[in-house]
Amino acid sequence: MRAVLLLLLVTLMAVNVAAAGGKNRKEKAKPSKSGSECTDWRYGNCVPSNGDCGVGFREGSCDQQTRKMKCKVPCNWKKDFGADCKYRFGSWGECDPSSGSRARTGTLKKALYNAECQQTISVSKPCSGKTKTKTKGKKGRGKEN
């Protein structure tokens, strides 16, 4: 019985020390700031480390302070309006035979890091040569006779 109580006591002490150690690490991780905390951070655009898309960094500033944050620029058509502007899009329109493309519009849903975003945007893509039809349930079943 004493062994069980001793084991329980040692376990509780270990948990308490680990919890206290975690708090200290979090406090040390925060940069020390003299004066008041800055609340009006302004962040720049995400600048990819290599090429024109992928993982990179953005710099933020507030008063005399600066920060560097990791970020990612998407490697697809969305990079035309930036990774920090999130839009809600409608359905694709019909194919315009004169331009050979179809378009849809989006309204601003969220601007991250105080980014300057347009309220509405329009994107287009080439019309597909074939009409796509959805087939359900046939993929991965093998031959059916």
- For residue range 51-87, list pLDDT tens digits in order: 878 889 988 888 888 889 898 877 765 556 777 888 9
What is the C-alpha to C-alpha distance for residues 105 and 108, in angstroms, rounded to an integer? 10
Q: Give the pLDDT confidence score for residue 94 in this predicted structure.
A: 94
Higher pLDDT, 139 or 90: 90
For residues 71 and 44, what is the distance between their CA atoms, to the nearest angstrom?
11
- The rounded distance, in Å, linking the Cα atoms of 86 and 84 is 6
pTM comes to 0.49
pLDDT at 28 over 80: no
98-110 mean pLDDT: 93
Q: Is the dihedral of CA 51, 53, 56, 61 positive or negative?
A: positive
pLDDT tens digits for range 114-139: 788 889 999 889 998 655 555 555 55
Whether the predicted pLDDT of 34 surpasses 50: no
In the three-class reduction of DSSP (H, G, I as helix; E, B as strand; rest coil), residue 6 is classed as helix
Q: What is the mean pLDDT of residues 102-111?
A: 93
Burial 11-50 (b: 16+ CB within 10 A, else e): eeeeeeeeeeeeeeeeeeeeeeeeeeeeeeeebeebebee
Compute the distance between CA of residue 123 and CA of residue 103 in angstroms, rounded to an integer.
Answer: 6
- pLDDT exceeding 70 applies to what percent of the chain? 67
